[in-house]
Chain A
Amino acid sequence: EAGVAQSPRYKIIEKRQSVAFWCNPISGHATLYWYQQILGQGPKLLIQFQNNGVVDDSQLPKDRFSAERLKGVDSTLKIQPAKLEDSAVYLCASSSRLLGTGELFFGEGSRLTVL
């Protein structure tokens, strides 16, 4: 079974530029998460999707971050314009369940460096 796929693995941009990250979850997983992991910190939830609907985006900085999952499968996270403090690893995870005790499966992450 293929795992969670993310791209690109690494991205370096100047501040005020834009960037997009892509995630393809495990086949059949209805729930998808984007987490931000700043160096030396634990992952922090940005947004949670159930199929193509947003369940929780309360921690997403909506003035610069956006995310979509139009067909309920793969997802894109965009940052526009980027700030220095956005330098982090962006982790995508998927789960087969919205509620209950479903395990989260993580991709390898997309490392963003903002100069």
Chain B
Amino acid sequence: AQSVTQLDSQVPVFEEAPVELRCNYSSSVSVYLFWYVQYPNQGLQLLLKYLSGSTLVESINGFEAEFNKSQTSFHLRKPSVHISDTAEYFCAVSKETSGSRLTFGEGTQLTVNP
């Protein structure tokens, strides 16, 4: 079975500062990797995903994540955060053979302060 560990439960940062949310996974088979975001009182939304190919994937709002197979990591980064990025971020993994059935990490609350 696969598992996901998000190394930080809370990350407070100031506006316009860079941020990294860390995610490590464990799996004996090939996986797909995802970051989902949950804004207050809303459902989870897909932020970005790694399926294959280039190990660096980007979202439309400036986040990026890099798949590192040797370190089994999929850390999420943004060079300059905004107040509106305040949300809970979940790293998730699925086996290539089970497609969209996701196993989630415990989440990281990102709080951007002015």
Contacts and interface: CB of A to CB of B under 8 A. Distances in A.
Q: Chain A: interface secondary structure?
A: loop
A106 interface: yes
Given A44-B104, A103-B49, A108-B41, 6 more contacts: A4-B43, A43-B90, A55-B101, A102-B99, A104-B100, A104-B102
Interface string A41-75: 11111001000000110000000000000000000
Top 5 closest pairs, chain A to chain B, by CB: A42-B104, A106-B43, A99-B99, A95-B100, A106-B44
A9 B103 CA distance: 24
Interface string A28-42: 000101010000111
Nearest to B9: A40
B49 A108 contact: no
Interface of A: 3-4, 31, 33, 35, 40-45, 48, 55-56, 91, 93, 95, 97-104, 106-109
A45 B44 contact: no
A42 B99 contact: no
A103 B43 contact: no
A27 B46 CA distance: 19
B54 interface: no
Contacts of B36: 106
B105 A42 contact: yes
B102 A107 contact: no
Most buried by B among A42, A48, A98, A104: A42
Interface in B19-67: 32, 36, 41-46, 49, 51
16 contacts: A41-B106, A42-B106, A43-B104, A44-B104, A45-B101, A95-B99, A97-B100, A99-B97, A100-B99, A101-B51, A101-B99, A101-B100, A102-B99, A103-B100, A108-B43, A109-B43
